[in-house]
Amino acid sequence: MLENIGTNLISSGIWFLIGIFAANYRRIGLFVKSLIHWSEDIRFSIAYLYKIKSLRPLNYIDYNKECAIHELNDFCGFTYYEAKHLENILTKVTQLYWFYHKFHVDKRTSHLSSLIVSGQMSREQALAELEKPVYDKNKMEKDIEFVLKKIEMSREEFEELINRPGKQHSDYRMDKFLPFLHKIKTFFD
């Protein structure tokens, strides 16, 4: 995954991937198993034990969100899709509804914070943006209906999942090996 300090510098502190959604609901598990996810222990192994450095070429590009949107529109008629990570309906429901209601996280906070840190937005502009509703309720209802139909889930099942206690990535075995790897690194440093 390519990331860049200008657009992904700030995180909400919880790594949200569609895998979290699948961990709570098994019907889309087959799709998620095909995704590649590097756990923290694998990243640690690559970076410290094997001394392999990750190149992040996007950190060397002077990225400006508004300029990029304008250039894409001029070049190929690109139309911006409301906000970061709303490229499709499933992602839109996940970013704006699932995270907000399941984990009480407004993803706009980290996205806007990155724009503030990179000098593309003032704090006051971001706060004004956060005063707006997270989503349009009528549009979101249609989007949720669409997603639920595609994954063959009832609204009752969906709401039951929303109301269950949330799971974090650290609840799964994948990251339990990390403290051991930190001890090994400390020993060799």
Compute φ and ψ for 157, nearest 5 degrees. -60, -45
Q: Tell me: pLDDT of 14 over 90.
A: no
Compute φ and ψ for 162, nearest 5 degrees. -60, -40
Q: For the beta carbon of residue 48, count every other beta carbon within 10 angstroms.
A: 16
Mean pLDDT of 12-30: 43
In the numeric block, which tokens belong to residue 7? 């657009």
pLDDT per position as a tens digit, 115-157: 898 889 999 999 999 999 999 999 999 999 999 999 999 999 9
The mean-pLDDT minimum among 59-63, 75-79, 138-142, 168-172 falls in 168-172
Q: What sign does the CA torsion over 68, 118, 116, 54 have?
A: positive
Q: For residues 106, 99, 101 and 94, what is the CA-based torsion angle, rounded to 10 degrees?
A: 120
Q: For the beta carbon of residue 95, count every other beta carbon within 10 angstroms.
A: 23
Of residues 174 and 15, which shows the higher confidence score?
A: 174
pLDDT for 123: 94
pTM strictly above 0.85 = no
